[in-house]
Amino acid sequence: MIEEKMLILLRQGKISKWFSGIGQEAIAVGVTSALKKEEYILPMHRNLGVFTTRNIPLYRLFTQWQGKASGFTKGRDRSFHFGTQEFNLVGMISHLGPQLGVADGIALGNLLKQNNQVCAVFTGEGGTSEGDFHEALNVAAVWNLPVIFCIENNGYGLSTPTSEQYKCTHLAERGIGYGIESHVIDGNNVLEVFEKVSKFAEEIRQNPKPVLLEFKTFRVRGHEEASGTKYVPQDLMDRWAAKDPIENYQNYLKEEGILSEELEVSMKEAILAEINENLQMAYDEETIVPDLQTELNDVYKTSDPEIIPASENKTNMRFVDAVSDGLKQSMKKHDNLVIMGQDIAEYGGVFKITEGFVEAFGKDRVRNTPICESAIVSAAYGLSVNGMKAVMEMQFADFVSSGFNPIVNLLAKSHYRWNQQVDVVVRMPCGAGVGAGPFHSQTNEAWFTKTPGLKVIYPAFPQDAKGLLISAINDPNPVLFFEHKALYRSVYQDVSDGYFTAELGKANLLQSGTDITLIGYGASVHWILDVLKEFDSISADVIDLRCLQPLDTETIYQSVRKTNKVLIVQEDSLFGGIASDLSALVSENCFEYLDAPVQRVASLETPIPFQSELEGQYLPKNRLKESIEKLMNY
């Protein structure tokens, strides 16, 4: 009845879009009824029955679809693209695959909490062709995660029939390859759905493992209403119309003497009254009035971080050891922190940063992962949804491209969309200078500073690496933490012992001068300091940015107003990098103080070569002295 009303409202222009679940309601209702209300469900865009079975007040659903404040996304996302901790639901994003990995993370949280809970996640048959589906199933199988993977096979991926989507007879057969128990279920029989899912859920609560369920059903409306159903043969429509789950269940109840005509009429009258009453509440609510500060403030979860001062007791250590110690201190501090990554357990990671961690913290919290960056980023998010913390190590920052989608579309947008904090740090060993070639040498921070909702940290010294990493783990927002590989074992510093934090978003003025401002981060800071030794007469401000997002513009502007000349150094290639935005910011905000154009020094506009002479030519250090001289002589 809600669906029928929504179709009317769609035609009247009172909602913007509708993804109908007519014909497959039994799956959403049956699965949700089989789970406990405290167990998470990750539905799709046509699973209205999940939301109604969880007894979400209808006016909140209606205001969500009308883009009003009482909805779940403050008008920022539509349809079922939302989650709610109040009802233990996590909605999908339009990139369907990542939610399967999110379910893995939620289930891992359940496993570690030993709360005997399951998690159910929905996908369509079209989504099973995405790599995320296969990654998530494999992770769940390897880790014995209590996940119920629910495939709603409704015959079409938008307009593409199943015959053009996969070759196997049943999608449930895919479970065999992953060592997962799988079953085919009549998705139009609500009793079969409820009874079988109840049975599997109870088994999984007692003996954690994943199960793959393929529900056979049919979508009788368009993928969304505007697309229609002209591509569906009429005889197929007719065959499935005879299997309508609501009509058949209604007839069954009447045959059993449970439902009478009088009771049916009274139920429908009560439902209609509830729909109309809640719709009126939604209509009566004022339209959202845009507030600039509210929009900007909701991109990140605000927090009041505890500032823990650094100890005066210090130990001289390498950059790599400072990162390791920061992780170790955080693992001791937070017993809900999980570290995940390839080869990080017994092997200690390719850079040996987590060496000895398994012995100290156990394999539950220090987890080797399959090679599936996307699923593990999504699982890290799922851990956060389930009240835990996660650090995921990209073996090399270059490999983040395989996990790019969930970082920029899931992690970055969740707090803005539905107020969900993302307690995830992605560690990014990066950078050239070690002869590792095009696929192990990139410094790709600019991919992420462009994305609102992410924080990006890039330290140059061991003390900062430790303190900033601890702060990143404490921060309730997603953080990309860049660690330059060439600094790992070449840079030493006296580092404070124990647990301490460093302020995020604060640059460090390494030395003070009056002639020129030199700005860098990561390895470029060391290049600046090295090259300056060749100049006896230059008095320079040297700024180590440390954090690229949030960015300490005030420290930069104060320096520019004093020195009147600025040179920005980055290891990334020039076009579209951090230096470009910094140059624009300085020009826009300090133009009247400048005695010369802002200068940028960066790597060549090529991929990174491995041969040492070629790599040396690629990197900007050899061009830095000339650039400083040119700017000083301007």
For 207-299, list the strands marked E by DSSP.
211-216
Q: What angle do CA 309, 412, 500 make, to 5 degrees?
A: 10
CA dihedral for 346, 349, 355, 361, sign (positive or negative): negative
- Residue 192 · residue 245 · CB < 8 Å: no
Cross-strand bridge partners of residue 156: 161
CA distance 58 to 276: 10
Q: What are the structure tokens assigned to 291, written together?
A: 């507030």
CA distance 391 to 288: 37
CA distance 349 to 395: 8
CA distance 620 to 272: 70
Q: What are the structure tokens assigned to 28, written together?
A: 């959403």
CA distance 199 to 398: 44
Q: For residue 161, is the peptide bond before it cis, meaning its omega torsion is within 30 degrees of 0?
A: no
CA dihedral for 270, 273, 275, 278, sign (positive or negative): negative
Torsion of CA 383, 81, 92, 292, to 10 degrees: -50
**CB-based burial of residue 287 (10 Å sphere; 0-12 exposed, 13-18 middle, 19+ buried)?**
exposed
Q: What is the DSSP string of 93-117?
A: -SS-THHHHHHHHHHHHHHHHT---
CA dihedral for 381, 386, 390, 396, sign (positive or negative): negative
- Residue 340 · residue 376 · CB < 8 Å: yes
Residue 440 annotated among the catalytic residues of the structure: yes
Classify 333 as helix, strand or coil.
helix
Q: What are the structure tokens assigned to 600, written together?
A: 């940028």
CA distance 321 to 467: 13
Cross-strand bridge partners of residue 90: 83
Classify 331 as helix, strand or coil.
helix
Please identify which of the residues 81, 223, 415, 440 carries the catalytic annotation. 440
CA distance 107 to 78: 27
Per the listing, tokens 């690229």 go with 548
Contacts 24+ apart (CB under 8 A), 353-359: 353/320, 353/323, 353/324, 353/327, 353/393, 354/324, 354/327, 354/393, 355/324, 357/327, 357/328, 357/331
Give which of 135, 65, 129, 84 is closest to 105, Cα–Cα.
Answer: 135
Classify 295 as helix, strand or coil.
helix
CA distance 454 to 478: 5
Sheet holding 599-603, edge to edge: 508-511, 540-544, 516-520, 566-573, 599-603
DSSP 8-state secondary structure symbol assigned to residue 378: H
Query: Mind telling me the catalytic residues?
Result: 440
